A and B are shown apart, each in its own frame.
Chain A
Amino acid sequence: MSEPTHDNTNLLNTMKAACRDTLRCMQCGVCSGSCPSGRHMAINIRRLVKKAARTVDVLKDEQLWMCTTCYNCQERCPRNIDIVEAVFSLRSIAVHEGIMLPEHGRVSGLLIRHGHAVPIDDERKKQRTELGLDEIPLTVQSCPEGLEEVRTLLKSCGFDRLTGDRDKSNAKTETA
């Protein structure tokens, strides 16, 4: 566990506020027993929930990004803990601390540039025409004012700063 510093105390309080109901956890393990990611990856959601209530180290834990948000754990938790909500909150706190997987930074850039996390490519333009669809879908991709609105909103929420201009050296997580 990290030495408690003033910064860490604030961060831990933010985490505790965001994941209040994880404090009700009785460590029964129903969540980790139900977790498909846990069968194929290192994530142990029971331990992650426990860790979240105690230390800011959880924010750097790679396991935090192995959850597919399938909701099995949350559906079955006998203490009715909104586990997936806690995962979302912890991830978001991590991202606000500058911790983000490189590929996630890249996809965020695509959203800002195209209004889509998965933008159109040439092969699909051709396929669309052959199918009889508009070459460019009638989404923001064919609507410049719409794309401008998306960018204005993302800027107004500070999303560009969050995912764009970060120090690349922070964009790492530790393996547990």
Chain B
Amino acid sequence: MRGLSLFLGCVIPNRYPGIEMATKLCLAKMDIDCVELKGASCCPAPGLFRSFDRTAWLALAARNIVLSEELGRDILTVCNGCYSTLADANRIMKDDKALREQVNRHLAGIGREFKGSIEIRHIIEYLHRELGPQGIGKHVERPLDIRAAVHYGCHLLKPSRERGLGSFERPEFFDELIESLGATSIDYPDKTECCGAGGGVRSALKEDSLRLAQHKLSRIKEAGVDCIVNACPFCHMQFDLGQEEIRRITGIEYNIPVLHYTQLLGLALGFTPDMLGINLNVIKNNTFVQRIENGQ
């Protein structure tokens, strides 16, 4: 198996650096061979730039992929949006020779060439396939006695034909990873539904997009959980910052802590909430943090 290069994207390093720290701490602690992909740019975001111009979207994605090809490493993404762009662009360019040549003409201008020699991985998919819930369980130092609402996010699962992770209607692999940490993954209505942020909707039509988030938040609240666990910093932002935005618009407070899986994993591996940047969220929930710190 090839080693990995860590692709950060935009939202993780520039808005939720706690997720970057959690990812780095967990990878090191689990002895996963991964280096940082230096000089990478925006993936570029699928909902925005794929919508605006396919060639520019492909060319920028290709440059990011080439940086990792030059290292002989697969790319590890920690974001559903980055995964969507890089995995789709990688496949499209591997399959379509004419398109690959067109993109390579642009890349020639910066002295690079897309070869199609690596794969794109998502940390959830990677951990499940390569270590499995049991393998993860072996690393757990602090089993988490909490109830979690898992949010898969759309682009981890779909298009399912390309992702190959099984049914998008009732997926289980992410729940299994959460349960491997001792936590309980709670079922709730509309569990696989969209957070509302993707497709450029959050950026251009924020209030509309928040109605989708609010729908999910109210379902999750009814189910009674300790936190939401996601696989994507953009869903993370929509649920975390979104709770504050919804409060401003509607006055409704949900006060549900939001964790990226790498942060939940980090807690189970023994890191403190501070080290994982959990307190850098907009929604601070001291009860949750204290419970973790006091070993429940």
CB within 8 Å of B: which residues of A? 36-37, 39-41, 65-72, 74-75, 84, 87-88, 91-92, 95-96, 100-104, 107-108, 111, 115-121, 124, 127-128, 131-133, 137-141, 143, 145-147, 149-150, 152-154, 156-159, 162-163
Contacts and interface: CB of A to CB of B under 8 A. Distances in A.
Contact of A75 (B60, B160, B205): B160
Chain B interface mostly: helix
Interface stretch (B70-78, B136-144, B196-204, B287-295): B196-204
Nearest to B20: A133
Interface residues of B, number: 64
A118 B10 contact: yes
B10 A119 contact: yes
Q: Point out which of B13, B49, B110 has the most chain A C-beta atoms below 10 A from its C-beta.
A: B13
A92 B200 CA distance: 13
A124 B21 CA distance: 13
Contacts of B54: 88, 92
Nearest to A153: B59
Chain A interface mostly: helix
A68 to B, nearest CB: 4
Contact of A137 (B14, B45, B155): B14
B215 A156 contact: no
Nearest to A146: B39
A133 B21 contact: yes
B106 to A, nearest CB: 5
B15 interface: yes
Contacts of A39: 212, 215
Given A68-B47, A88-B51, A131-B21, A157 B39 contact: no
A47 B158 CA distance: 23
Given A70-B198, A115-B41, A153 B106 contact: yes
Contacts of A156: 59, 106, 109
B17 A154 contact: no
Interface in B186-217: 190, 193-194, 196-201, 203-205, 208-209, 211-212, 215
Nearest to A144: B39
A74 B159 contact: yes
Interface string B249-281: 000000000000000000000000001010010
